Amino acid sequence: MTGLDIYRTKDGFQVARLHYTADPERTTEEWLKETEKGYPGGKAGAAWRKEMEIDFTAYSGQLLCYDLLTRYKHKIVQDRYVKGYEYKYGSLDWGRNNPASFNVYTVDETKHIHSAYEIYLRDTSIPDFSTLIKQCPFYQDLIWISADPSIWNKNQETKEGLQSLNDKFQQNGITLTKGKSRDDTLAINELLDRWYKLDEREATFTISPKCPKQIWEFERLRYKEITTAMIEQKNPHEQLVDKDNHSWDNWKYFISTWLASPVLKDETPINPNSAWGQMLLSKRKKTEFVYGR
């Protein structure tokens, strides 16, 4: 049968792979031409090869968004004016020996996301980095600061006993919110959705030229190599090479947290150190009092 491939793995499992050409209606020139429009690069692109040709190595070793940043830099890298009413969030990827990365992301009424501010330092300390965060011009307006969930692990030996890195940030006046996910997939999908068809539309995620390290990192992001052996051992999914990705990681913690906790929800975590956060907390207390009567 055309489009049906049956084979047996090394472990003895029989696998049936059904290709789109098994459906006669999906082999016409009209169908192919129309369907290609939904895949960057058309039939030659990695998205088509993975989904339509069932090629799990399609993205293997490829740069994530270098081509987009090169061709559409005028749409992606923009010095946007940040309006006072826009929601503002911080996100942190901590590293003492590796670079520590902090970005401020703003969101307007159309849900356009803009990376507006950056701190990116190597060989720094939590007290020094905390001071720099507080000096950020948007600090008082931050709703929350997301961070790597692993920094809540109590694995730091101190005179007072085991502490977490989060404890140390707290001691330096920085309140953090656990990022919802460390996985690359959600962040990759959200980024590519916001940079989709830029020849026809505007980017809905932009980066300020004042964030040069984030631009530099995003240009170098690359998918991990996937081998045939890896495919047979487990179901592979897109992951990025763990190198020069500190700004990417803080984007990952921000976008996963923002998507999971819209600002209007009562359970949204809030930065109590900011003026904006204090206002929202005050409103919550008033609401709780009214409903509690």
More confident residue, 77 or 266: 77
Give the DSSP letter string of 135-183. TSTTGGGEEEEEE-GGGGS--EEETTEEE-HHHHHHHTT---EE-S---
- Whole-number pLDDT of residue 9: 62
pLDDT of residue 291: 29
Dig out the tokens for 287 from the structure: 């609401």
The pTM of this model reads 0.72
Which helix (H) or strand (E) element contains residue 100?
Answer: strand 100-107
d(CA 252, CA 149): 12
Same domain, 238 and 170: yes
Residue 198 and residue 70 in contact, taking contact as beta carbons nearer than 8 Å:
no
Q: Which domain range does residue 14 map to?
A: 4-64
Residue 158: what are its φ and ψ, rounded to 5°?
Answer: -135, 175
Do residues 47 and 75 both lie within one domain? no
Mean pLDDT, rounded, for 83-92? 95
Per-residue model confidence (pLDDT) at position 58:
44
Q: Give the pLDDT band of residue 293 (cuts 50, 70, 90).
A: very low
| Total domain count, the chain | 2
CA separation, residue 239 to residues 61, 101, 214, 216, 221 (Å): 10, 20, 18, 19, 10
User: Does 22 score more than 80 pLDDT?
Assistant: no
Residues 106 and 20 in one domain: no
CATH of the domain at 239: 3.30.420.280
Per-residue model confidence (pLDDT) at position 35: 79
pLDDT band, very low/low/confident/very high, at 1 (cuts 50, 70, 90) = low
pLDDT band with cut points at 50, 70 and 90 for residue 289? very low
Burial class (CB in 10 A: 0-12, 13-18, 19+), 273: middle
Pick from 15-19, 157-161, 214-218 the range whose average pLDDT is largest: 214-218
Q: Are residues 125 and 184 in the same domain?
A: yes
pLDDT of residue 39: 66
- What is each CA distance from 25 to 28, 29, 33, 75, in whole angstroms? 6, 10, 13, 38
**263 plus 168 within the same structural domain:** yes
Take residue 18 and report the two structure tokens written for it.
Answer: 């059904």
Residue 36 and residue 116 in one domain: no
User: Is 102 in the same domain as 191?
Assistant: yes
Give the pLDDT score at 288.
41
- Which of 64, 88, 103 is the endpoint of a domain? 64
Residue 250: in which H helix or E strand, if any?
A: helix 246-260
Q: Are residues 156 and 247 in the same domain?
A: yes
User: Do 107 and 235 belong together in one domain?
Assistant: yes
Instruction: Identify the band that residue 49 occupies on the pLDDT scale cut at 50, 70 and 90.
Output: low
- DSSP bridge pairs for 67: none
What is the pLDDT at residue 287? 45
Same domain for 87 and 165? yes
Based on DSSP, count helices (H) and strands (E) in the chain, helices before strands. Answer: 11, 10
Q: d(Cα 95, Cα 123) in Å, to the nearest integer?
A: 8
Asked if residue 190 and residue 149 are part of one domain, the reply reads: yes
Looking at 17, 41, 64, which one is the last position of a domain? 64
Whether residues 76 and 204 share a domain: the answer is yes
Q: Are 169 and 130 in contact (CB under 8 A)?
A: yes
Show which of 13, 30, 64 is a domain's final residue.
Answer: 64
